[in-house]
Amino acid sequence: MKLATVRTADGYRTARVEETQYVDLGPGDVGSLLAHPDWRTRAASSGGGLLAVEPTDLAPVIPNPGKIICVGRNYRSHITEMGSELPSFPTLFAKFTDTLIGPHDTLRLPPESDAVDWEAELVVVVGTRVRRADRATAQAAIGGYTVMNDVSMRDWQNRTAEWLQGKTWEASTPLGPCLVTADGLAPDATISCTVDGDVMQKAAIADLLFDAADLVGYVSTFITLHPGDLIATGTTGGVGHARKPPRYLEDGQTLVTTVDGIGAMSNPVRGDVPA
């Protein structure tokens, strides 16, 4: 089952995605739906009529997550290209909600950075409150998956040993286009990123060092995870910063991020001016 958050003139509405149709499930976003213990039953209900949805009507599928936990260096191919050793534990950082944009919104390049890079990521969406989960409990707590591009300002990221300032730039992180429930993602699904049609990243999610259940279990050890919380699982090889010479996003390009079985985000890349 696929679920989406749709922007309307009257606010967000949740929709069940059936091929190219959006079945109206009522007011609110997917995050608010997940807050109900019986959200799966509600999501599978017949719903109302169909919503007329243009690509830019799609909001970040979870517009206001309580937490956005991100994992660095979690694909073996990316760890290798960055010249690092395989870590014993997940490398974690956080994003703020203000970073999120919709799956077809324009990505504005900040004038303060000359090194804006792409990072295609599979995202775990928590579906059940969980703390100190063993593997079976962690697996059961996964509500579904979505897609993110962890767009990174490398020059700011590398100013210090802490990555926060390069990873949580306002309105920099596309999220969507929908949530696919946990049973809808194949274990051999492919994740990819293209820039103007050129394939920059492509790998199987099986290349993850720490998988979804590993991450839910690890993070829930030190903090309670709630429905709608997000864990971005890391990016695969092919980032622009690791290329020789490095390549970064430029005004006029189109950034497409895809996970098989979930869908694709397509974000026009445009220059910006200081607010």
List pLDDT tens digits, range 210-227: 999 999 999 999 999 999
Q: What is the pLDDT of residues 169-213, one digit of tens each?
A: 999 999 999 999 999 999 999 999 999 999 999 999 998 999 999
> Within a domain: residue 51?
no
254: nearest Cα among 211, 173, 201, 196: 196
Helix, strand, or coil here: 100?
Answer: strand
**What domain count does the chain have?**
1
Residue 21 domain-assigned? Answer: no
159 lies in a domain? Answer: yes
- Residue 25 corresponds to which tokens in the numbers above? 């499930």
- DSSP 3-state percent helix, strand, coil across the chain (nearest 5): 20, 40, 40
**Six-digit token pair at 79?**
């760890």
Is residue 2, in this structure, part of any structural domain at all? no
Token readout for 67 is 């937490």
The domain of 158 spans 58-271
CATH number at residue 114: 3.90.850.10
Average pLDDT over residues 154-164: 94
Q: Which residues of 49-72 are buried (b: 16+ CB within 10 A; e: fewer)?
A: eebebeeebbbbbbbebebbbbbb
Q: Is residue 44 part of a domain?
A: no
- Sequence-distant (6+) residues with CB within 8 A of 37 are none
Q: What does the DSSP 8-state code read for residue 62? A: S
